[in-house]
Amino acid sequence: MSAAITLNRPAAPEVAGWTTKALGTFASVLLTRPAALGAAREILSAELAAIDLACSRFRPDSELSALNRADGRAIRISPLFALALEVALWAAQASAGDVDPTCGRSLVRIGYDRDYAEVLAQEAPLTERPAPAAGWWCVDLDSAQLTVRVPAGVLVDLGATAKALAADMAATAIADRLGCGVLVNLGGDIAVAGRAPEGGWKVGIDDGLTAAADSEPGADPGSRGGSQGAGPVVSVETGGLATSSPGVRSWRRGDLALHHILVPGTGRPAEICWAAVSVAAATCVDANTASTAAVIRGRAAPGWLANLRLPARLVRPDGSATTTGGWPS
């Protein structure tokens, strides 16, 4: 099942928005009840703080860091972290292993061993060869007993799914508690809930050919849902929308050009067949899983997305684009 997505139409003017920095990117919220913006900000901030404490690879006090330090021992975890792991394992299975949460060691080997802003400042050549992901099936999660174990030496990274999960959770929480339509945009991972404004939420699609949208937080979320993309504008009424782009987090080490979307089987950055892939789906997690897998699958991605009947737009490095699943032309 995919999100409802159409060509851009005028949106209702009674929309309020707010943008801040969070999770190493920008976080925007738009809602159809301007008087409730303060309450929406509080809900969004609480949801983001919770997911960061559970899932950050760069916080020593996070549950994820505790798991990666456990040296093969099982640890007790919170319901939120268990859910985040469930989602990551589902994404791995749904993508036939393309979106693998055990790629943490692979990311460290290519230099993504610290916050992205610090990664950009590192220029020395890599000292270790890329390493394949350990394999998502080695994550031993017991959601009923709230325990998890991974083999010693395995590093889990939830960067491919945790942000999208946070967008879904925050949008649902705001809509349920405040009784209004809401759009949450976390660095291009977009979730909507409640009743959208007339004409839908207008979202600018990042074509991957300009400066990365989540390198700087948008000063004003405006009518584009906080997206800073230079591509077309579409309207989203339900579900989620995500764009994956190798250029969003890219850097150089010595003479190597690197980026954050890895092929699990090799631990190396995916070949850049697509500058950006945007997908609409029933949830932001669904959309992000599909868009990330599409970057990894390269030339086979359009056929794969078409078989899933997902609306998608794939942009080549030369700026030309192909669409699938009824994405508006």
Q: Residue 131: its pLDDT value, please? A: 87
Q: What is the maximal distance between C-alpha atoms in the chain?
A: 55
| Lowest mean per-residue pLDDT among 78-87, 130-139, 166-175, 221-230 | 221-230
Q: What is the pLDDT of residues 153-180, one digit of tens each?
A: 999 999 989 999 999 999 999 999 999 9
55-149, superfamily in CATH?
ApbE-like superfamily (1.10.3980.10)
Q: Are 278 and 240 in contact (CB under 8 A)?
A: no
Length of the chain: 329
| Lowest mean per-residue pLDDT among 71-75, 106-110, 179-183, 213-217 | 213-217
Contacts of 131 (CB under 8 A, 6+ apart): 105, 106, 109, 267
Q: Residue 1: its pLDDT value, please? A: 52
Nearest to 2 by CA among 300, 269, 237: 237
Between the ranges 126-140, 150-164, 198-212, where is the mean pLDDT highest? Answer: 150-164
**Judging by beta carbons within 10 Å of its beta carbon (0-12, 13-18, 19+), is residue 182 exposed, middle or buried?**
buried
In the chain, residues under CATH classification 1.10.3980.10 are 55-149
Q: What is the mean pLDDT of residues 264-273?
A: 90
In the chain, residues under CATH classification 3.10.520.10 are 5-52+165-324
Rounded-to-integer distance, Cα 305 and Cα 170, Å = 27
The residue to which tokens 């919770």 are assigned: 50
Q: Is the pLDDT of residue 218 over 50?
A: no
Q: Residue 221: its pLDDT value, please? A: 34
CATH topology for 5-52+165-324 is T-fold (3.10.520)
